[in-house]
Amino acid sequence: QVQLQESGPGLVKPSETLSLTCTVSGDSIGRSGHYWGWIRQSPGTGLEWIGSIYYSGSTYYNPSLKSRVTISLDTSKNQFSLNLSSVTAADTAVYYCARRNNFDYWGQGTLVTVSS
């Protein structure tokens, strides 16, 4: 059974960097052919893809966030991470991690609030 679990601070100050980690069990993030992605959902709104990372380390980002986003893999811990810099209140959202580009497995999501 594949499971993903997001972790990280629930509160981030404006202008700081939001950092989240997704821990994967039941699959290997280094498995050939797999993508791993981050999606967010602002309160009461729809879903926004943030970016994805291929098992090889290649990254793909939403153009609207590209200048502020970094996604990385840690194969030793079977984790992948999201860094979003220079956050504002508009980055307040539930952040999800998911497997593949058809997002067949999702984490439960973690609410990150940007506030001083």
Partner 1 sequence: EIVMTQSPATLSVSPGERATLSCRASQSISTNFVWYQQRPGQAPRPLIFGASTRATGIPARFSGSGSGTEFTLTISSMQSEDFAVYYCQQFSKWPITFGQGTRLEI
Q: Give the binding-site size for partner 1 (rule: CB under 8 A).
A: 19
Token pair recorded at residue 6 = 């997001």
Position 112 contacts partner 1 (CB under 8 A): no
CB of 37 to partner 1, least distance (A): 7
Distances (CA, A) of 19 to 7, 27, 33: 9, 23, 25
Position 96 contacts partner 1 (CB under 8 A): yes
Position 92 contacts partner 1 (CB under 8 A): no
**Which positions from 24 through 53 interact with partner 1, judged by CB under 8 A?**
37, 46-49, 52
